Structure 1
């Protein structure tokens, strides 16, 4: 029985860490999208993505990066709103899951994600950077599930 109680405490701490770590990551990374160097950093990823390339052509790189930044800041804020608005938090978490699924697609569309000169294709530094989004996708789904359960119990 004691282990069960400890397990619930650790689970709650883990979910809170996931939620607010995810929110903080999105807020900070979103803020950086307004910096020129970050526009340069995302260029090879977004220009190689067929669904996003047309937006860049239409908006320009700087405005497109700003749009991504505003989106990330908004999602981070929505995810963090769980104590006062669990349904809103669930929507933000599910939208973040969609965003991370999109960034994971860059593994297939960005030539710089792979090093093919070393025999079998291996992830490059860019590919390794993108791979972490699997964890962020999972965190988004867990945060969404937790927020939906909180909304149901209200």
Structure 2
């Protein structure tokens, strides 16, 4: 048993690099999807309701609710509304930032200063994303009534959007681990 423990302890640096790769993959994939209409439409409730980000859009919440395109379907009047709203332009910019942070996280394997900055940015981005739990009504199950009323709505019952957002706590922790490891490597190189 001690041999397994020692073996795993000796792999810590490789595991942190695997974490860097995992964050890179998620960031580049999700950031890259921001170039597509369905993904841009999907982030509107989060951005429109955020006191930190809503200024990026020209229309105010909750107007967007009338112009939702279901995933896999495009309705031209909704696309037109999103173009006027600035939905697509903002999404392209956000996607570029996310991809850039992801690339920086991966580069942190070889360049600890870039890794430190990218780890801090990953933490900050995830912190903002987690704030959507408090600002976006769609993150909790709505009380839609029905023939058999259910007590399972509101806090703490996460909707699909809420379940998507809560997972960012893993990215938040990953950003801290990446930043701390990069800071440690910078400190070791200074003290040589």
The structure whose residues are more often helix, as a share, is 1
- Normalising to structure 1: TM-score of the pair? 0.91
Residue 124 of structure 2 is aligned to residue 98 of structure 1: yes
CA displacement, residues 47-103 of structure 1 (integer Å, 9 cap, x when unaligned): 111211111229811111111101101101111112331011110110110000000
Measured on the aligned residues, the alpha-carbon RMSD in Å equals 1.8
Residue 144 of structure 2 is aligned to residue 143 of structure 1: no
In the alignment, is the contact (CA less than 8 A) between 2:113 and 2:186 conserved in 1? yes
Tell me, which stretches of 5 or more residues in structure 1 are unaligned? none
CA displacement, residues 29-63 of structure 1 (integer Å, 9 cap, x when unaligned): 11110001111111111111121111122981111
Residue 57 of structure 2 is aligned to residue 56 of structure 1: yes
Aligned length: 154
Tell me, which stretches of 5 or more residues in structure 2 are unaligned? 60-84, 144-149
Structure label with greater radius of gyration: 2
What is the match of residue 73 of structure 2? Answer: none
Residue 151 of structure 2 is aligned to residue 119 of structure 1: yes
What is the match of residue 98 of structure 2? Answer: 72
Q: CA deviation at 1:107?
A: 0.4
